[in-house]
Each structure stands twice: as C-alpha cells, then as structure tokens.
Structure 1
Amino acid sequence: MTATERLHSSTHGPCARPVQLAGTEFDASTGERLGRKTVERRCGSRLASQCPSCSALYAADARALIRAGLTDPDTGRPLPATFVTLTAPGASVFGQVHSQRRSGGKRGKVRTCRCGRRHRDGDPLLGLPLDEASYRYDLAAAYNAAAGRLAAVTWQKLGRVLGERLRVVRVMEYQARGLVHVHALVIGTVSQADLDLVVSGGTNPRTGRRIAPVRHGRWNWGPRCHARPVRTGHADRLGAYMSKVTAYAVKAAGEDRPSGGFAEKMARAGAAACRCSHPRPDCCDGERTSILTAADGNPVTVVWQSRPSQVPCRRHKLARRGWGYRGHVFASSRNWGTTFGELRAKRAAWAAGRQAGASTPTVVLWEPPQYRTDRPGPGAAWSLDSVRKVVTPGPTGTATGTDGRAPDGAQWPATAGPDPRRP
C-alpha cells in the first residue's frame, strides 16, 4: 500500500486538501539515483471547516492523550483527578449580553432575559450584546489575548500552594458571548478552598503567607470558578467530554455568526489587540496596504511595498481568527502521560509496518515548496512570475527595475525557485 493509498484509506476518511510533495529518490547504500517520487500527506488542519478528516484525527489524538494521563502506566488503574473550570469576568467589565438563565439548574425553568424575552436553545440572539454601542469589544479581545498566559500563571500559583508540580491538560472553549474560559483536568486532589485561595487571594494555610489574587496584566478570573473531584470510574466520561469540547473549539471563532455583525467586530478588535514584539515593523496590524499606491509610480517601489512588511503577520491572523486569543485550544503540561508527537510517531510506525514487502532502504531529497500565484492577496505568497510583471532580471541575476536600479538590499532570484520574498 502506497503512502497516497494509506492517506485516502484512513479510518476518518480522506484528507480534504492533501499536500503533494515531490522529490528525488536515491539508494541509501550506493547513492544511485532511482528516479522521481511523488507522495501526498495530510494537511494536518485542526479546523473542521477546512478538513473534517484531519480535524477528527486530531480529536482522536486528544482523546488518547487525555486517557493516557488519567491512568497509572504501571498498574493501569485510574488516577485521582480534579475537574477545574475557570471563567471570564462578568458583564460589569464588558457589558450586558442576551443570556439564557435557568432557575434550579440546567433543567430548570428558563428565566426572562434583560431584554424581556425568554431565549430558547439555539436562539441566534444568545451571546450578542444588549447595547452594541456601549459593549466593550476592545476589552473582550484584550481579555482573550491574555487568557492563555493567565491560565499558565494560575497553574504555577496553584502548584506552589499545593507544594507539588501539577499535571494538567486543558482546553479553551468559547462562550456564546465570544469570551474564552478554561476546562482542565488536574491529576491529584484540588479542593474548592485551594482554588478560591489562588483566584481570590488569601492566606496559605500550609505556609501562613499572604497570597495575592492570580492576575496577568489587568485581568483576573470571574466569580464562577470551581473545582470538582473526578469520581472513580468517571474519568473516561470526563475525558470524552473534554475531547468533545476540543472538537467544538477547533472551529474558527464565530463561524456560526453572520458576517459583518458581532463576529466581524470581535475579529477587528482581536487584530487591534495584538501587539508584535519584532525590532522592526513586520506587518500592517491586520490591514493590507495597496501595492498599487506607490509615491512615484516606480515599478520597483511597487514590488518593494508588497514585501511581507506590508501584509498581516501570522500573529495578527491568529488574533483575528481567534477574536484576540492566539494560543493553542488544547494543551497539556510536559509531565503529562504522553504527547501528540509520540502518538503521531506510533501511528506512523504502524502505517509503515503495514506496507507490504521489504523494500531497499532509500533516501528522498524533497524539493522546497513552489509558490505560484498570479494575483497575490492578503497572506498569499509571491511567485517569481508575478514579480517579473513589474521588474526585469538584470545582468548579474539581481531583480532590477525599468531604470536599472535595484531596491535597497533586495536580491531577488533570477530563476524559478522558492518563495522570492525570502532573501
């Protein structure tokens, strides 16, 4: 079975957008050239909207990772664990939104919202601001940007309070109002009093020292943080729940929201809340400048202004897509049972073992990816063909303009090859 056949015969179905790799194959012992080799590999996307197959495979890996950390590797018995939830600040910080409140728990009677209506499940108004003019989109995006670091600081402080290094696996889930909150499994026993001590501050009963509330920048957690012990036999159910949350959270934020409304405002606020730490400007803060607005109309200037310094960087793209949050949706501590890399290595070894027949050991020199596009847009890569539309190759192989001058420090390749944006 070839690599391409294994790709399309996966349990989760074929990849929706496989990446084709081409290279030259050589005999590992003699160095003899055996010919060209072309294979396809999975795109590896975690977004279900881009590739349902790779997204399902990622969720399965997450489920296996969670299960590996919840069991003792020596005895195979489940370990004691605590389910911790950390929520975002309340409406007093960001503004009131349409909500579905129930009296008497999740199965209780639906209470009237502040708008005067009773929202049922699936109501498109749930999570939207009551007053869009006064809602603080900027603060919501700023909180999302700080949520990942705030969670990391929380685990560090909680470990110091308990006097041990925590083993944690957590997922970041988007609430209906567009704010992220944390669901985590912590190996060991974490009482509600210990969590309240870390979140709200107080005196550590173990050391007698005063502890400040956990904070990152101006942000802290909301009032509804809780810790629940995982009962024996319920670990698999909680692990399945967290993997279900992961499968939901890998969707891009706001996919179910109409464009131009709440989702678009949160996306813009997320890009605005992102800050680059590069020594020089590396992007245009999420807004691409036109490559046709040169000061003097010189074609060389047009090409120079279309370099990566004039397109959104990866940080701003992630901030826009995640409404300010740029971290991983799913993460685990280093001392957890296993890692994604180990799981993928085992799967690759299993797939290689199923390949029928023993073949001669070979070495493949893969070619660098070729970027081809006739009309570069935001996030698109320049190809040499598109560059040649406005510049001509000079006598020394350096890209020059119509006046024979090259941009300062620009050394464009004169033959087809990798992305010419990279010097």
Structure 2
Amino acid sequence: MTEKEWADIGRWVERMTAPDYPEWEAGVRRIGGCAHPIHLAGTVRLVDSGTGSVVHELGDGGRTRLMVPCGNRRRQWCAPCSRVYQWDTWHLVKAGLAGGKGVPESVTDRPRAFVTLTAPSFGPVHAASTDRACHPRRGGHECEHGRPLACWERHSDGDVLVGQPLCAGCFDYAGAVLWNAHAGRLWHRFTDLMRRQELPRAAGVSRREFAGAVRVSFVKVAEYQRRGLVHFHAVVRLDPAEEGETLPAWAGHELIDSAVRRTVPLVRVVTPEGPAGQWKLSWGSQVDVQPIPASVTEDGPEGEAHGAERVAAYIAKYVTKAAECTGTIDRPLYCPDCRGSGLAGSCPRCDGSGLRAPLSELRVPPHARALIGTAWRLGGVPELRALRLRRWAHQFGYGGHFSTKSRSYSTTMTALRAARSAFRSEQTRKRLGVTGDLVVTADLSFAGSGYADDTERRIAENIRRDIAENREIAREEIAHLEALHADDWGCG
C-alpha cells in the first residue's frame, strides 16, 4: 500500500475510535446518509402535552447539535434526499390516479391522459437511434457555414454527439434560451386556453355549461432533452365540477386528446423587443396524448392499478433531475457577493465579472457552454432582466418549477411530509411511554453544513451505500414472500 493509503486508513481509524463516533454515526443513519447535512445547534425538549412535563431532552444540559437532511430534490446533489422526494412525488401522482391519501377511489373511473409537450426545433441536432441514420440526406448539401447537413451515423444513447447541433453557427441559441425561460408561461397559457376555450369547443357546449359540469385537474413535470431544452410530461384528468356528481357523457378520453391537439398550435408568447431582437415562442410539433386505462383488461395486469403505478414511477423519476444529462454544471454561475451584477465592475470577489469563474474554464461540452454563455449575455439586456437569466444560466434559462399540480388533483407534498412526521412522532411517543400528545419545543440556529473533512464524507458514503443495499435486500425479500404467499393461496 502507498503512504497515502496508509494515511487514509489512519484517519479512518482515528475517526471511528473517537468518543463521539457512535453518536455521529447514529445521526448520519437517522438522516439516511444525506450527502450535505445541515447542522443546527441549540435546545430541543420533548414535552408531554397531558402533564406538561419534559420527558426527554436532547444533548448535555439542554444544548445539542443536530444533523438534519438537506432535502435537495436533485439526485446528483444528494441521492438519499432526492429518493425521499421521488417517493413523495410517486405517492402524489398515484393518489390522483388510483385514490388514497385523502383522494376518493372514484378518480379511477374518470378520463385521464398522459400528455407530452415538447419544444420546437432551433436547429438540427444529432439524435440517438440504433435502427436508422441520424440525419439521412443525399446530395452533399452544406449549410451557409460549410458544415454538412447530413449525418449517416447511428448514435447510441451514450454517444457524446447526441444532442449536439450539426452546426453550432446555425443553431438559434438565443431562441432556445428564451424558450426555456418562457416555458412555464407557455404551460400556463396552454392549460388556461385548453380549459376555458378548447375543451368546451371540442365538447360542443358553452364555457358556462362546461365549467358547471367539469373541472380539469393535472400534474406535470419538466424534463431536459439532450439538446438542452425542456419538455413537459403531464397527467390531465377530468372531474365532476361538484364531488358526488357524474361526468357528462361527452367528457371522455377523446375530448382530452382533441382539446390538447387543438390548443397546442394556438399558444404563443412574444418576447420584449430589444437589441437581441424579438421571438414568437410556441410549442413544438411533437405532441403525444396517451389515455390512461381505467380498468383491468383480460390480457393481463395492464389496468388501472398497474397503469397508475407505471405512470407515477415515470413522472417521479424526472423530479430528481435537472439539466445534468446535457453535461452542464449543477449550481448557479453568478458571484454570491454581487449576485451576478458585478457591482459596476467593483465587486472584489469576481473582479466585476459577476461570475464565480470564467465561462471558458467550465468543464462542459461546447453546446452547453454556448447555451450558458448565451443566457449570461441575454441576462444583461435591460428588456430581459425580469427573466433572471443570469440566475438560471446553468439551467440554460429555465427557472420554473420542475413539478407542479392543480389544487384538486390529489394530496400535497406538505400533507405527505406531515403524515411522515406524525408517524415518527407516534413511534417516539410509544417508545417514551407518553400518554398524551408529544410536543417538541426547540430553539435552534444554523451552525454549518456538510461534513467536517473528507474522511467523514467518505464514511458517510459507506453508510449511505449500506442503507441502500439493505433497502434493496428488504425489497427483494418482500417480493419473494409475496410470491410465495400468492402460490400458497393458489394451491389452497
């Protein structure tokens, strides 16, 4: 072993034999091995509401130091916290398709569709495909920059060329960044126009009649394509305007399909006119609407329950992602002191550039660097300042939420977290033998974040790996036991 490896082992042994290690390890396991824990210092007391007495006090003499999870939804930043966020999203989406979590099971009988809306083309890019050429074009045509307009390669999904433009000079980087920045507004106008105009028109009824009979519910997530543009996956559901009533006969899957396809070409957003020009932004031509089945078919388990879980899993996996599939960085680019302004050239931290580091030093693909640079430059245009493009340059201009839902679709993230907190409180109450409700009184302040050094970080990685492995083993054992139970039931 090298001298460095022996030194690493020595630091591991030193940390794991320290007097506070058992308490530290228990804290790391309690937060699931969070990669970037938040440290809080202060007092925490558990009080029995029935008697008013303090039944438990954390720390020595009331003072304690707690580690709490960072709660970040991005898998690239913190896998344990993103997994919890993904599970919550799965339950939220599934409840709106199959009922539960306070949502009536009658939603299973209502028309639902899985809708995908994409961005338009801002220039040809290399595409992944194993059964056909990327961009077949005969005749040796070239663009105005002398680049070929054809590509006869069959790119695998992991090919670094996938998502890169055939010609960077022909790609409309400004339009792509501005489209990302206005994607949330396009979605809002799409839902508003579909609900108020195109659904009633497709049903052949007046707006008032439609609003009195049908309520539109949805949940959507944003996903980045390899070319650096977002597109949206959504579940659209038609509900009775009043709970307990029935939907009209004309409210079905076909109505959703027709209304979506009618609405998409009508949505327009015009950017402010300025030195960079003006863009009329719209959705792309690729629109997909798939009905979500409502009952079990004779061919197998492809009915409501299976379909709901599959759609929920498909949507939930995207909420833990950002733009990392494009090779971009995972944090804002602007200087934390001046927040990207440069303070008129006088910021001492960034020398007036407004950047953490020069764009030329970013270790990202050329296409990602061009999108980031375009967002940064457009962020300095006064007419576009409200878009906060410099704040979201690392996401190519997109600063919207990665998941949203209508109020009536299903439960909320707040309710799911409150249920989890109540469950843990009940476990603690039983363990301490408290007869009344358990009340937590705390006076905590921020005391730092992350781990003390690289040794602690690597130990936490091992703990995180152990937790994930144990969870996978438990999941496999549960599936095995369920299969055995099903076989025994069939034999009986």
TM range (shorter): 0.5 to 0.7
Q: Give the corresponding residue for 1:254.
A: 326
Measured in 1, the distance between the counterparts of 2:159 and 2:415 equals: 42
The answer to whether the Cα contact below 8 Å between 1:80 and 1:187 also exists between their aligned partners in 2 is: yes
Cα gap change, 1:23 to 1:112, in 2 (>3 Å): closer
Per the alignment, in what secondary structure is the counterpart of residue 232 of structure 2? Answer: strand
Q: Give the corresponding residue for 1:20.
A: 39
Q: Give the corresponding residue for 2:284.
A: 222
Question: Can you give the 5+ residue segments of structure 2 that lack an aligned partner in the other structure?
Answer: 1-22, 136-149, 200-209, 239-252, 271-279, 295-302, 330-362, 450-492
Q: Give the corresponding residue for 1:304.
A: none
What displacement does 1:350 show? 1.2
Q: Give the corresponding residue for 1:345.
A: 418
What displacement does 1:256 show? 6.9
Cα gap change, 1:77 to 1:125, in 2 (>3 Å): same
Q: Give the corresponding residue for 1:330.
A: 403
What CA deviation, in whole Å up to 9, does each residue of 1:95-152 have, x standing for no partner?
22112467xxxxxx31342223222332111110111123221111110000111111
Is 1:61 the counterpart of 2:88? The answer is yes
Q: Give the corresponding residue for 2:311.
A: 238
Measured in 1, the distance between the counterparts of 2:377 and 2:424 equals: 44
What displacement does 1:77 show? 6.1
Measured in 2, the distance between the counterparts of 1:136 and 1:314 equals: 18
Q: Give the corresponding residue for 2:71.
A: 44
What displacement does 1:184 show? 0.5
Q: Give the corresponding residue for 2:104.
A: 74
Which of 251-260 and 347-356 deviates more?
A: 251-260
What CA deviation, in whole Å up to 9, does each residue of 1:151-183 have, x standing for no partner?
111111111132344211111111121111111
Measured in 2, the distance between the counterparts of 1:344 and 1:322 equals: 28
What CA deviation, in whole Å up to 9, does each residue of 1:297-318 have, x standing for no partner?
xxxxxxxxxxxxxxxx995565
Measured in 1, the distance between the counterparts of 2:67 and 2:382 equals: 36
Measured in 1, the distance between the counterparts of 2:162 and 2:185 equals: 28
What displacement does 1:354 show? 1.8
Per the alignment, in what secondary structure is the counterpart of residue 63 of structure 2? Answer: strand
Per the alignment, in what secondary structure is the counterpart of residue 258 of structure 2? Answer: helix
What displacement does 1:348 show? 1.2
Counterpart of 1:65, as a letter, is L
Q: Give the corresponding residue for 2:186.
A: 150
Measured in 2, the distance between the counterparts of 1:230 and 1:26 equals: 49
The answer to whether the Cα contact below 8 Å between 1:4 and 1:39 also exists between their aligned partners in 2 is: no
What displacement does 1:36 show? 1.2
The answer to whether the Cα contact below 8 Å between 1:87 and 1:182 also exists between their aligned partners in 2 is: yes
Per the alignment, in what secondary structure is the counterpart of residue 17 of structure 1? Answer: coil
What displacement does 1:18 show? 0.9
The answer to whether the Cα contact below 8 Å between 2:113 and 2:292 also exists between their aligned partners in 1 is: yes
Query: Structure 1 vs Structure 2: percent identity of aligned residues?
Result: 30
What displacement does 1:191 show? 3.5
Q: Give the corresponding residue for 1:365.
A: 443
Q: Give the corresponding residue for 2:368.
A: 263
Per the alignment, in what secondary structure is the counterpart of residue 166 of structure 1? Answer: strand
Q: Give the corresponding residue for 1:289.
A: none
Measured in 2, the distance between the counterparts of 1:222 and 1:361 equals: 53
Is 1:174 the counterpart of 2:224? The answer is yes
What CA deviation, in whole Å up to 9, does each residue of 1:269-323 have, x standing for no partner?
2334447999xxxxxx8xxxxxxxxxxxxxxxxxxxxxxxxxxx99556512211
Q: Give the corresponding residue for 1:8.
A: 29
Per the alignment, in what secondary structure is the counterpart of residue 117 of structure 1? Answer: coil
Cα gap change, 1:185 to 1:331, in 2 (>3 Å): same
What displacement does 1:26 show? 6.5
What displacement does 1:367 show? 2.4
Cα gap change, 1:4 to 1:67, in 2 (>3 Å): farther
- The number of residues matched between the two structures is 313
Q: Give the corresponding residue for 2:120.
A: 89
Per the alignment, in what secondary structure is the counterpart of residue 346 of structure 1? Answer: helix
Measured in 2, the distance between the counterparts of 1:365 and 1:254 equals: 43
What CA deviation, in whole Å up to 9, does each residue of 1:255-276 have, x standing for no partner?
3795252112212223344479
What displacement does 1:192 show? 3.0
Counterpart of 1:111, as a letter, is A
Counterpart of 1:245, as a letter, is Y
Cα gap change, 1:332 to 1:276, in 2 (>3 Å): farther
Per the alignment, in what secondary structure is the counterpart of residue 42 of structure 2? Answer: strand
Cα gap change, 1:9 to 1:251, in 2 (>3 Å): farther
| Between structures 1 and 2, the one with greater helix share | 2
Measured in 2, the distance between the counterparts of 1:39 and 1:346 equals: 22
Counterpart of 2:407, as a letter, is R
The answer to whether the Cα contact below 8 Å between 1:158 and 1:195 also exists between their aligned partners in 2 is: yes
The answer to whether the Cα contact below 8 Å between 1:252 and 1:321 also exists between their aligned partners in 2 is: no
Counterpart of 1:244, as a letter, is K
Q: Give the corresponding residue for 2:161.
A: 125
Measured in 1, the distance between the counterparts of 2:235 and 2:290 equals: 10
Q: Give the corresponding residue for 1:391.
A: none
Measured in 2, the distance between the counterparts of 1:357 and 1:251 equals: 46
Per the alignment, in what secondary structure is the counterpart of residue 61 of structure 1? Answer: helix
Cα gap change, 1:152 to 1:224, in 2 (>3 Å): same
What displacement does 1:236 show? 2.0
The answer to whether the Cα contact below 8 Å between 2:328 and 2:364 also exists between their aligned partners in 1 is: no
CA root-mean-square deviation: 3.4
Measured in 1, the distance between the counterparts of 2:94 and 2:177 equals: 33
TM-score by length of 1: 0.66
Is 1:195 the counterpart of 2:260? The answer is yes
